[in-house]
Structures are given as structure tokens and as C-alpha cells.
Structure 1
């Protein structure tokens, strides 16, 4: 399996020496049971109201001696150990358990890997995992990356359609970071397009970057898709993505990834 970005991001990513990564493979299963795999939540905001509307689940490994291991390294280790699917389910289960205590209007975005979607049993197992929680599927968005398009598109479309029938939404994550085959946008049962941070970084300085963003937002709207901007770090970037029609955004301008209790505190402070 190959994909350009791990499905769960932490604040630091990559750079772990390969020899060290290999030595950590045997520790990963133990890390599940010892509570070392932590779930954080990246707040998401409405462009129209600036209110907190939900969060995206992220992951990191709090290693007892190495400290924080970022998600890119974490999932590379899991891939080598053939533990990507168990790791993903572990993180999703944790996220659901914590988010069930949130107010009913907050949504939760869950990332899944191309490896999982290629599994014929994925939709059934994922729906079962959600069913064991108290979260309504209507409050959930499943995020997939463009790398899904490198696999069996029919299998992916079938799995996503099955989950959409439960009430979940589906978003294509990191749009603009990969090969961006626009043709496939109409083949998958999508509800939203998430613009990668690379699509946002230069929009205040480069007219060409702004033109590209504007064209993608226009295309997404024509396909009936909401647009979410990732990596918003300045007031100027926020103003542009709002004026160009991005319905939602997330980024360090308002908040870094945080624990669930901090998210609830943010919500309380805004009340």
C-alpha cells in the first residue's frame, strides 16, 4: 500500500530513522493497550458564523522514552507491521467514545485508509463500530484521501455508498496535494471537498494561487459539494476562503489540535 499522507495527522510528522522505526514495530501492539496512542481533535469552524461546528480526529503516539511520535512515522511503522487497519480502528473507537459526550450539534470527522476501503468487509465492520457507539451517523463525516483512487474504484465507491446510506457524509481530504484527477470526483459519492493546506498557503500573495482556489471552489459547488479549507493560519487566508465560498475551515489561526476536554472548554468559552 502506498499513500502520500497518513490518515491521522499530529503536530509533528516524519523524520524517524528507519532503523528506529523498525525496532518500534513490535512495540506498537503493546502501545494500544497501554494508552500510548492518543487522539486529538482539530476544531472546525463555520465560515458564515465563525462558530465551532465540529472536529477532525487526529492521532499521535506518546512513546514512554522517545516522546511524541508523529502520525506519518506512526502509520509507517504500522504499515510495516501490518497493523494499519487495527490502528485505524483503535483510533476511530477512541474518537467515537470521546465525541459521544459532545453537544449534539458538533460533528466528528473520521479518516480511513485506502487499505481499509479496499477491504470488502470494510463498510460492514465500520458501520458495526459506529453502531456500538452512541454517535448518530448523521454527525459523522468519513474522510478519504486521493490515494483511494489508485485502487479499485468500484470497490471504494460501493463501500462509500453503503456508509452514506447510514447517514454519514463523505469528504475527499487533502485535495490538491496529490494528482487531482477531477474526473473521479463525479464517480465517488462525495459530500465535501477538503482543500489541502498547499492550496491555501499562497492565496494572499499569488494571484495564480487564488485563481486555482477560485476555480476549484466553483467546480466543487457545481458538483454539489461543500468546500472545507485546511491549514488556515492567517486572518488574510480566512478572509479569502470565506469570500470565495468555502463553507468551513480549520487551522492554527483559531486552534491547534487539542484533547476533547479542551474542545469542550473552547465551546463553553464561546457561549
Structure 2
């Protein structure tokens, strides 16, 4: 068996703290060339926008869609949204990318039939920016998209640093008429303090919460408990990750508001969603 070559311990302890910090900083940043490529992709509208349809549980009709992004990089291939935002964060371009996605998604959604809703993910960096509500208001105004048709989705992970500040920012967005969803509910530690402090309209269940509901009684009872809790708090439940008709039938039967997943369609280009 080959032995891994180890760095002498004396080298580790001899490295000054300032040098270690600079090494970590260099590893945390992306090369300037990548940052320039990302800026160019945004400027030339080469960030692909995709939409995954959401369906109303009561009627079965298309209710709207969640906007997702991909970066078709010429060398690295297709870069998915999570990785794209990690690159943007390390390049100090997270806010610029978020603003670009919001403006572009709203412009595309402004061409939809009246009544269809758009869902957009927002990040911790967005909530930390004092001007974020103003930026969203400006994007809504430029697109002509009604604020009441926009839902902003925020995950638990983006809220853990400063809940009071996040609540204040979300309240400003709600005052514009925008609706707020707590995304990936059930994937983390489900801090119920969020349900007390935040101005929420929706709980969006993580796919792990619906995987077994068609054939596991305990999973189904957990779903029922969440729907009952949400109803007591005047929140609607959106089920994500629906891949079978049995799962869809279960969330419809148990009182969820809407569902999305591969059963209803994978993330698709704007023109394909428009055909729905």
C-alpha cells in the first residue's frame, strides 16, 4: 500500500499566523479569471434561467414555478445553482448574481398568464444587505410583475446568524406585498422559533419529508402533523420532491396547498414552461 507523503510537523508549527490566514484567503477566493468570466456571463445574459412548475393541490392546475439557474461554462460544463452561488460568494459577486437572477426572472415571468406565481430563492447575503428590499422593489417596478405574485424562499441555514435582522428585512418585503416561504423545512433542525418570529406565508417541505408518505405510516403522520401545525399558524404547505402519483395524491389528500417535483416536470427553459 502506498503511504501518503506527510508534511513535516515542524513546517506546520513554524508557519506564522499571518501567512496561514493569507493561505486560507487564497484558497477561499476564486481566480480572478473565473470572477471575470462570471461577470461577463451576467453582462451577456449567459446565465440560463430554468423554471420548475408548481401545481395547485385543490385544482391540479399549474400555479406557477420556481426559478432556478445554471451556468453553461465552456470548460467546466454545466454549473448548478448552489455551486454557482458558492463561486459568486468567493468572487464577491453574490449580490450582483442575486440581483441579476431576480431581474431576469421577473422579466421572464412578466410574460406569463395573469395569476401564475413566481418563486425565487434568496440568500443570507441578500438579507444582510440593507438595500435588498429596495432592490427587489425596483426589479418589480421595472418588470411590471405584481408583488402579490412573487414568493421569496429562504432556508433555515440563511437565518441562523441574525434572526431579528432577518425578520426585519423580511417584514419590509412583506410590506411590499411579497410572500415569504421557509424552504427545505424538515431538512435542518426545524427551529420552531422561526415560525414565531418570521412573517411567513408558506412552509416548503424538503423532499426528505415526502419520500415515504405513500407507504410508511409514520412518515404520513409526520406530514399530517406539519400540515396541522401550519394550518394553526395560517401557513400553507408546499410539498417539494414529488416523484410519484402516490406521493402527489397523498399531499393533495392531506391538505397541502401546492406541490412540485419531477412528476410535474423537471426544471425547464422559459419557452417550455410557457407552453404549460
Task: Please confirm whether the aligned pair reaches a TM-score higher than 0.5, indicating the same fold.
Answer: yes
> What is the aligned partner in structure 2 of residue 99 from structure 1?
109
- Which is higher, the Rg of structure 1 or of structure 2? 2
The answer to whether structure 1 residue 226 and structure 2 residue 226 are counterparts is no
- Which of these residues, 211, 214, 217, is aligned with residue 227 of structure 2? 217
Report how far residue 207 of structure 1 moved.
2.1
Alpha-carbon shift at residue 69 of structure 1 (Å)? 1.0
For structure 1, the 5+ residue unaligned runs are 1-17, 267-271
Moved over 6 A (4+): none
TM-score (normalizing by structure 2): 0.86
Structure 1 segment 194-213 matched on structure 2, within 5 A: 194-213=204-223
Match of 1:167, SS state, is coil
Give the TM-score, by structure 1 length: 0.87
- 1:122 corresponds to 2:132: yes
2:195 paired residue number: 185
What count of residue pairs does the alignment treat as equivalent?
249
Q: CA deviation at 1:138?
A: 1.2
How far off its partner does 1:159 sit? 1.3
1:243 aligns with 2:253: yes
- Aligned-pair RMSD on alpha carbons? 1.8
Are the aligned partners of 2:54 and 2:264 in contact in 1 as well (CA < 8 Å)? no
- The alpha-carbon deviation at position 208 of structure 1 amounts to 2.0
Say if 1:118 and 1:151, in contact at 8 Å, map to a contact too: no
**Structure 1 residue aligned with 2:266:** 256
> What is the distance in 1 between the residues matched to 2:245 and 2:65?
20
- Matched residues in 2 for 1:112 and 1:252: separation? 22
Partners of 2:193 and 2:170 in 1: CA distance: 17
Give distance in 1, aligned partners of 2:43 and 2:72. 13
What's the counterpart of residue 33 of structure 1?
A: 43
User: Is the contact between residue 102 and residue 136 of structure 2 (CA under 8 Å) also seen in structure 1?
Assistant: no
1:80 — aligned with what?
Answer: 90
1:150 maps onto 2:160 in alignment: yes
